[in-house]
Amino acid sequence: MPPPPPPRKDFPAFPFAPYPIQSEFMSFLYAALSSGPGALALLESPTGTGKTLSIICSALQWLLDHRDAAATAPALPSGAAGPGGDDDEPDWLRDFTPLPLVKESTKKKSKPPALRKTVVSRKPDGFGEEDGGDDEREFLLEEYESDREDVARRGVGKRAHCGGSSSSEGEELDEEEDEEEVTPKVYFTSRTHSQLSQFVGELKRTEFAGRIRTVCLGSRKNLCINKDVLKMGSANRINERCLELQKNKKSTKVKLEDDKRKVRPAKRSCGCPMLRSRSLQKEFRSEVSNQGALDIEDLARIGKKIGTCPYYGSRDMVRSADLVVLPYQSLLLKSARESLGLNLKNSVVVIDEAHNLADSLTNMYNSKITSSQLKTVLSHLDEYLNRFHNVLGAANRRYIQTLTVLTRSFIRVLINNQDGASTMSSMTINQFLFSLDIDNINIVKLCQFVKESNIIHKVSGYANKLTSIQYQFDLQPHDEGSSIACFQALVDFICSLLNGNDDGRIIVAKQKLGGQPDEAYLKFVMFCADKIFSEVTRDAYAVILAGGTLQPIEETRLRLCPSLPPTDIKFFTCNHIVHPESILPIAVTRGPSGMTFDFSYNSRSSPSMIEELGRFICNIITVVPEGVVMFFSSYDYERRVYDAWMTAGTISKISKKKHVFREPRNSADVEAVLNKYKETIESCSKISQDTGVSGALLLAVVGGKISEGINFSNGMGRCVIMVGLPYPSPSDVELIETIKHIESISSSFLVGDDKASSRKYDDECELQPGYDILRKCTRGGREYYENLCMKAVNQSIGACRAGVALDLQPQGVEGCWLK
């Protein structure tokens, strides 16, 4: 490893003269990256302080300086010990010259020994022309052998999406890897595609846009240009259809947009017409490289123009890229990293919007399956086994029967609620396995079988064929993707059982007496975010966590890296650029009529409380010009308040002063609503004297798309109203189990209590009331519960405080906090 570049205080790539706080921010980040391998830094920078530009200019400047230092570093003399070398090595070992590595692309890939085809010269028994056997042969599993224990053991303790859409099995293109891997890289990840687009937009403002090779990765739903696949609608169905097309190789042709070249049939290749030509993929990569930094929309536009897939085209550019921009799931989920071929070794990882990183990590490894999904999978397995029982190999038949046994056991535990006393319970993985008497099943081998045998698509494909025959004369279409989704949910849950006993909990929600079947479910809730995070920090050269609200950092350290001393974590925070005298926070406890505001769960929905809130809003909008953003604790409560105001005529009164907009549940519609909100404010500021309408009111939800990553600049956020404090419900089983886990680890790590460190989860499966658990918490659990609320509040109001950055004179009420 070359010596670290010297400290820097100047960053010429910054597009304008930085504020002192921005210069300090960049110098700190540059120094943190220069501190050596294994660095972990937390950067807290509120919205409007130039966080994104500061990260770009400092991290990419360090990348260039680091490479220059490596190029000019003197070569080590022969026999000298390099970094990490051992002076005690014997001479014969030091002088040993390993054989050169052979590129994998130059060797013909062979199938693993665990998966083999049996070549037959005759039709298998049971497949005859009279019963349509030829048509059904495509659903028959290939012969499977699982004698190699070392193959099966690879998945121990690791959760993978076995056979899922994110798996690399069956989806990789046979592309030659001509380009060498560029290291080190900078990986930048954030929550949503819109936040990634904002990052690329800021990158284009700097000189790095032309100097750094950048690639932006997105989901199939955002990058797919095959109209037939996009018709599938949901992301899961688009993923499944994409993989299905790749397995169905055939000759196809496609029309090219904005191109007068003749349409000619392609060679026999992938079933998707957008992947038919390697030359077009190379043309796509060349076009993207020539245009510099591009966001997801730009990639999709170029893909449509050339007539090739931008999803796989961008993936092929990762090896040669200096900067990779990608969403959370693509980087933080191990199976996704393996599928995309991401190599974090010696690279810098920047994680933006990291205020809830621990919860985001654990949520990726959660799995849930309902009783209706279990019954669907069981019926499909029975149909498949009945049809192909005589022609399946012994191993295939045995594993399918094992899946059937597990599925029946899961259904049995959900419907076995005769007393009806308790419908919800929690238990460890071992307790769950022993209670169902399935602890003798080798789940490791079972998951390996599902991953290698392609059973999900075989069984689901046969089920879809039977369903299509039943519905061919029915006008109501059937959902072809539902069977795959159900099977995938089962496999994800089974693979979750490979985790350590204390890594999470199994939530069993039994069917209520007289209730609907869908009310029952099984769910694995992951707790150990530190194990997931360590997979990133172990490989990366440095990890940077950035966000507007990272404090308290002790909770972040406790959940992500508890073994790391606090002194080894580098932390930087900067105040907001808006002066305190320009912000007016007010805690409003009473309404216009003198009624005390009480927005607790039991009181907030009362008609009198909603009516009093409406009177208050009518008064506020007459004082505050332009844009007002009002946050509710949930979509359900926002809908309830809006409906009540519509009935009482409050909305019509508000509309005389402000146009009313509502945050949509569908994230795809958020941008359109925000654009209309902004256009309305700009137009009203010009003609408000004629119409009397002075702006707009936006009804938003805490934790929604609008509350994170959106900058309400200038008139878009003159006032922000927080209706109550959004404390999560203590009746949430997953929340309470997480609180118990955090309380346990905080007692052991912070206090060093031997009794606490040795204390495990309670053996009792019955849940205690949430309020009782919170009262018993003395340290980390209670703080975690309170921080969930306050971080959500800070995220919501933080984006709006940037709205007065360019207008330092207070106009009306700049912030109202309703308790």
For residue 699, pLDDT over 90 is answered with: yes
Point out the least confidently predicted range of 228-242, 318-332, 724-738: 228-242
Q: For the segment 282-294, what is each residue's pLDDT rounded down to a tens digit? A: 999 999 999 989 9
Neighbouring CB atoms inside 10 A of 130's CB total 5
The position carrying tokens 């085209």 is: 313
Q: CA angle, 138 as apex, 136 and 142 as ends, to 5°?
A: 120
Cβ-based neighbour number of residue 683 at 10 Å = 15
Question: For residues 775 and 110, which has the higher predicted lDDT (pLDDT)?
Answer: 775
Q: Which of 283, 267, 190, 272 is nearest to 239 (CA)?
A: 272
What is the DSSP-derived secondary structure letter of residue 329?
H
Look at residues 246, 245, 320 and name the one whose alpha carbon lies nearest to residue 282: 320
Query: Mean of the per-residue pLDDT values for the chain?
Result: 78
What pLDDT band is residue 754 in, cutting at 50, 70 and 90? very low
**Would you call 262 exposed, middle or buried from its count of C-beta atoms within 10 A (0-12, 13-18, 19+)?**
exposed
Q: What pLDDT, on a 0 to 100 scale, did the predictor assign at position 513?
A: 60
- SS3 per residue for 513-571: CCCCHHHCEEEEEECCHHHHHHHHHHHCCEEEEEECCCCCHHHHHHHHCCCCCHHHCEE
For residues 212 and 30, give the distance between their C-alpha atoms in angstroms, rounded to a whole number: 17
Q: Is 70 exceeded by the pLDDT of residue 439?
A: yes
Residue 390 has pLDDT above 80, yes or no: yes
Query: What secondary structure letter does DSSP report for 703?
Result: T
pTM recorded for the entire structure: 0.80
- Note the pLDDT of residue 105: 43
Give residue-wise pLDDT tens across range 648-684: 999 999 999 999 999 998 877 888 999 999 999 988 8
Buried b / exposed e over 447-464, threshold 16 CB at 10 Å, is bbbbbbbbbbbbbbbbbb
Confidence of residue 510 (pLDDT cuts 50, 70, 90): confident
Q: CATH 1.10.3470: does it fit domain 365-470+480-528? A: no
* Bigger pLDDT: 804 vs 187: 187
CATH topology for the 581-729+792-808 domain: Rossmann fold (3.40.50)
> Closest by alpha carbon to 455, among 246, 169, 236?
169
Side chain identity, residue 140: L
Residue 804 has pLDDT above 50, yes or no: no
d(CA 161, CA 172): 16
What is the distance between the alpha carbons of residues 306 and 308, in angstroms, rounded to a whole number? 6
Tell me how far apart the alpha carbons of residues 677 and 682 are, in angstroms, rounded to a whole number: 9
Q: What does the alpha-carbon distance between residue 736 and residue 511 come to, in Å, rounded to a whole number? A: 21
* Banded model confidence at residue 179, pLDDT cuts 50, 70, 90: low
Task: Return the residue matching tokens 């009198």.
Answer: 608
Strand, helix or coil for residue 459? helix
Q: Residue 697 — very low, low, confident or very high, per pLDDT cuts 50/70/90?
A: very high
Pairing of strands 626-632, 323-327: unpaired
Contact 522, 734 (CB under 8 A): no
Give, in order, the Cα–Cα distances in Å from 169 to each of 61, 365, 455, 482, 771.
38, 19, 12, 21, 46
- For the segment 353-368, the average pLDDT, to the nearest whole number, is 92
Angle made by CA atoms 367, 373, 377, in degrees to the nearest 5 = 110
Q: What pLDDT does residue 90 have?
A: 53
Q: How confident is the model at residue 124 (pLDDT cuts 50, 70, 90)?
A: low
- The DSSP line for 170-216 is TT-------SPPP-S-EEEEESSHHHHHHHHHHHTTSTHHHHS-EEE
Kindly list the domain boundaries of the chain, sorted by start residue.
192-247+271-343, 365-470+480-528, 581-729+792-808
What are the φ and ψ backbone dihedral angles of 68, each rounded to 5 degrees? -65, -40
* Banded model confidence at residue 707, pLDDT cuts 50, 70, 90: confident
Instruction: Give the residue among 175, 113, 110 at the shortest CA–CA distance from 147.
Output: 113
- State yes or no: pLDDT of 240 exceeds 70: yes
Coil, helix or strand at residue 319: coil
Q: Which residues are CB-neighbours of 201 under 8 A, at least 6 positions away?
A: 295
CA–CA separation, 615 and 622 (whole Å): 11
Cα distance from N-terminal residue to C-terminal residue, the chain: 55
Distances (CA, A) of 418 to 115, 421, 511, 516, 769: 44, 8, 10, 15, 22
Residue 150 has pLDDT above 90, yes or no: no
Q: Looking at per-residue confidence, does 16 or 590 come out higher?
A: 590
Q: Which runs of E-coded beta strand occur in 191-294?
A: 214-216
Q: Is the pLDDT of residue 643 over 80?
A: yes
Q: Read off the tokens for 580.
A: 């305190």
Radius of gyration of the chain (CA): 29
What does each C-alpha distance from 637 to 631, 634, 643, 690 come to in angstroms?
Answer: 10, 5, 10, 35
Q: Provide the β-strand partners of residue 628.
A: 697, 719
**Which phi-psi region, left, alpha or beta, contains residue 410 (left: φ > 0; alpha: ψ -120 to 50)?**
alpha
CB 256 within 8 Å of CB 306: yes
In the chain, % of residues over pLDDT 70: 74
Q: Count other Cβ atoms within 10 Å, centred on residue 804.
A: 26
* CA separation for the pair 280, 307 (Å, rounded): 7
Neighbours of 70 (CB within 10 A): 14
Q: What is the pLDDT of residues 319-354, one digit of tens each?
A: 999 999 999 999 999 989 988 989 999 899 999 989
Mind listing the pLDDT tens digit for each residue in 187-216? 999 988 888 998 999 999 998 988 899 999
If you write DSSP's letter for every residue of 2-31 in order, what string do you get? PPPPPP-S--TTSSS---HHHHHHHHHHHH
- Which pair of structure tokens corresponds to residue 394? 């012994």
For 540-578, write each residue's pLDDT tens digit: 999 999 988 888 888 888 899 988 888 889 999 887 767
For residue 165, the 8-state DSSP code is T
Contacts of 29 (CB under 8 A, 6+ apart): 41, 43, 54, 55, 58, 59, 62, 544, 572
Task: Give the pLDDT confidence score for residue 141 in this predicted structure.
Answer: 84
Find out whether the peptide bond into 184 is cis, omega within 30 degrees of 0.
yes
Q: Which of 286, 285, 292, 317 is nearest to 210 (CA)?
A: 292
Number of H helices, E strands in the chain: 32, 17
